[in-house]
Structure 1
Amino acid sequence: MTRLLSHPVRDHGHRPARAGLVQPIAAVLTDRIDDVAVAEAAARMALVRRVPLLLIAVMPPHVGRSPLGPAACPSVRAVLARVMPKVGPHAIGCIPEVFHLPAGNGSRLAAAKQLLALAGRHRAPDVVASRRGPHGLDAHALIEAAALRGGPFVHAIAPAAWVPLRSPST
């Protein structure tokens, strides 16, 4: 019996991803102490999946945009420099990106939707954020915005517990 031409053959086997369609893991960096825990969790996920890390630095609206790229601004470099010692040893690629908070008093989810749209432009299926963050950019607001827009999966990271410094014993 011959196969009809109107019915295409569907191969349900595993297909490797196309090289141009890399889906990085996004980490939301809000210039807080929690950024290190967020970046470490995102780096572990990216290492397991063998994809780069999208580092989204959240900046206030008054911080200027640089025509040379996101990593050219000194405040963005300061945010990235805080997490790079923890991300660098994993030897994964990093894509720096800047998200400027919207000016004015928008709705609680406006900034979250815009940040998720930025992650969507990079085709990031997962976004890692801190449970505490600036208004509208904490993990709970991002989860709610992702549910409303059908966006990426948001992972909430708890801040690291405070451990007092110990002086060397003599």
Structure 2
Amino acid sequence: MTALLSRPRRDRTPRLARAGLVQPVAAVLTDRIDDLAVAEAAARLALARRVPVLLIAVMPPDIRRQGDGPFPAPVRAVLARVMPKIGPNITGHIPEVFHLPAGPCSRLAAAGELLTLAARHRAPDVVAARSGPEGLDAFTLIEAAALRGGQFVHTIAPAAWTPLRSPSP
């Protein structure tokens, strides 16, 4: 029997994480301006633990897989917006899509479904923005996690707005 030789990767491209017994850090991306802060915080946690980042792109219920690859164009756009910022800093990433429930649904039910998706990937930590779509803000996720006895939810505050300064004449 011959031993398999392991060769280190020389390029800096982000790589998909292997599904195994790793416990990734989940980042809830809701196609808002806070996504960069959420992804960066999740990448910092994941890098400290040497685990991949689970990037959960939240999509409306009417966006489904069309035939243009594994993910539809809106999902690829959300992921492409955050990958340049966190790509070099992470040990791997797992892309995932969460579709908001169609029809009337309680806010805790939507949050519980998202936490179930994160639990399927064995993610003990979920990073979410303080403001988000109805039922998927960090406070609703914290409430749903407390009811379920599940994951720890990290809250990320939106970045403070600063006006652009023009050069003084």
Distance in 1, Cα, partners of 2:164 & 2:78: 23
Q: Deviations over 1:18-42 (max 9, x none)?
A: x931000000000000001000000
Match of 1:92 in 2: 91
Match of 1:14 in 2: none
Q: Percent identity?
A: 76
Q: Does 1:156 align with 2:152?
A: no
Superposition pairs for residues 1-170 of structure 1, below 5 Å? 20-66=20-66, 68-69=69-70, 72-167=71-166
Q: Deviations over 1:59-114 (max 9, x none)?
A: 00000125743xx3100011111111211120420110000000011112010000
Query: Is the CA contact (8 Å cut-off) linking 2:24 and 2:52 kept in structure 1?
Result: yes
- Secondary structure (helix, strand or coil) at the match of 2:96 reads strand
TM-score computed with the length of structure 2 as normaliser: 0.83
Q: Which amino acid letter does the alignment assign opposite residue 79 of structure 1?
A: V
CA distance 1:104–1:52, change in 2 (3 Å): same
Task: Provide structure 1 residue ranges, at least 5 long, that are not aligned to the other structure.
Answer: 1-18
Distance in 2, Cα, partners of 1:66 & 1:93: 26
Match of 1:8 in 2: none
Query: Is the CA contact (8 Å cut-off) linking 2:46 and 2:90 kept in structure 1?
Result: no
Aligned pair count?
Answer: 150
TM-score computed with the length of structure 1 as normaliser: 0.83
Query: Is the CA contact (8 Å cut-off) linking 2:126 and 2:151 kept in structure 1?
Result: yes
Q: Cα RMSD (Å) of the superposition? A: 1.7
Shift >6 Å, 4+ stretches:
none
Distance in 2, Cα, partners of 1:21 & 1:66: 31
Q: Which amino acid letter does the alignment assign opposite residue 84 of structure 1?
A: M
